[in-house]
Homo-oligomer: A and B are copies of this chain.
Amino acid sequence: MPNDIAAPTAISMAELLRARYGAAAPANTVPGNDVIRALVSHRSVRAFDADRALPAGTIETLVAAAQSASTSSNLQTWSVVAVEDAGRRARLSEFASKQAFIRQAPLFMCWLADLSRLDRLGTAKGRKFEALDYLETFMVAIIDAALAAQNAAVAAESLGLGCVYVGALRNKPEAVAAELGLPPHVMAVFGLSIGYPDPARPAEIKPRLPQSLILHREQYATKDEPAAIAAYDGEMKRFSARNGMGDTDWTSRVVSRVGTAAGMSGRDRMRAILNALGFELR
């Protein structure tokens, strides 16, 4: 098409799969195409070129991609706040483990599980929509938000931009809600920092667990899991060493992240916080 601005990945599918899986790369995939190579090429970018602005229309394009994702029963129980203001990004960064890239990247998209739109519609119709009080409907909203955000992330990367999800936006949900002016029944599920990657600090594709652990055929099975995890620990140790992150393996990172409730950065309070934000979670 004319005016295309994509940079298709020049790396072959086989090379990408080796980067993604190391020695455990599957050999039997289909040849792939530009879209699939773009997906498999993903790496989270945490170092941005703070001086390079996004082209006009970028946000509208990302939102069009996001809204094109599936949404449960077409309920569209999500919204997004696009934050460009540097002061607001700095404040949100403080709430999210002070991560520097939120200040650095020119755009911070806050993805919202949003049941308030339907709640307002119910009020306008003179009734209370009962399903909004249930855990199930909250799950619908966070799934809707996640599907939408992933389309936006894929679209951003196709434009040569880099991005990184920010789950730490859930460390202080009440403070984030106040900063973004969120009404009740809305929660910022995660952020997405978006900008041009800093060419001086390129990110590497991160290895994942082998398909043998993630993909089950017909029924769930766990055979050879310890050996596969040990091999993956080796891949992650080498990845971490190459990327100046020490020589920590996957298992150690898991232990520090989920071993104790104290390691949850306050998110062990999530149920009470969601109740306070108007989600009854029945």
Contacts and interface: CB of A to CB of B under 8 A. Distances in A.
Interface residues of A, number: 138
Interface string A8-20: 1010100001001
Interface string A119-160: 011101101011110111101101100110111011100110
A65 interface: yes
Given A1-B34, A211-B64, A251 B121 contact: yes
Interface in A1-48: 1-6, 8, 10, 12, 17, 20-21, 26, 28-42, 44
Contact of A60 (B65, B118, B211): B211
Contacts of A243: none
Interface in A236-270: 250-251, 253-255, 257-261, 263-264, 267-268, 270
A114 B263 CA distance: 20
Contacts of A135: 270-271, 274, 281
Q: How many identical chains are in the complex? A: 2
B12 A36 contact: no
Contacts of A4: 31-34
A129 B118 CA distance: 37
Given A21-B64, A42-B69, 6 more contacts: A44-B70, A112-B220, A125-B255, A132-B258, A146-B150, A181-B219
10 contacts: A6-B34, A35-B38, A36-B64, A42-B70, A67-B209, A73-B253, A80-B215, A134-B264, A139-B170, A142-B146
Interface of A: 1-6, 8, 10, 12, 17, 20-21, 26, 28-42, 44, 55-61, 63-76, 78-85, 88, 112, 117-118, 120-122, 124-125, 127, 129-132, 134-137, 139-140, 142-143, 146-147, 149-151, 153-155, 158-159, 164-165, 167, 170, 180-183, 186, 189-190, 205-206, 208-209, 211, 213-222, 225-226, 229, 250-251, 253-255, 257-261, 263-264, 267-268, 270-271, 274, 281-282
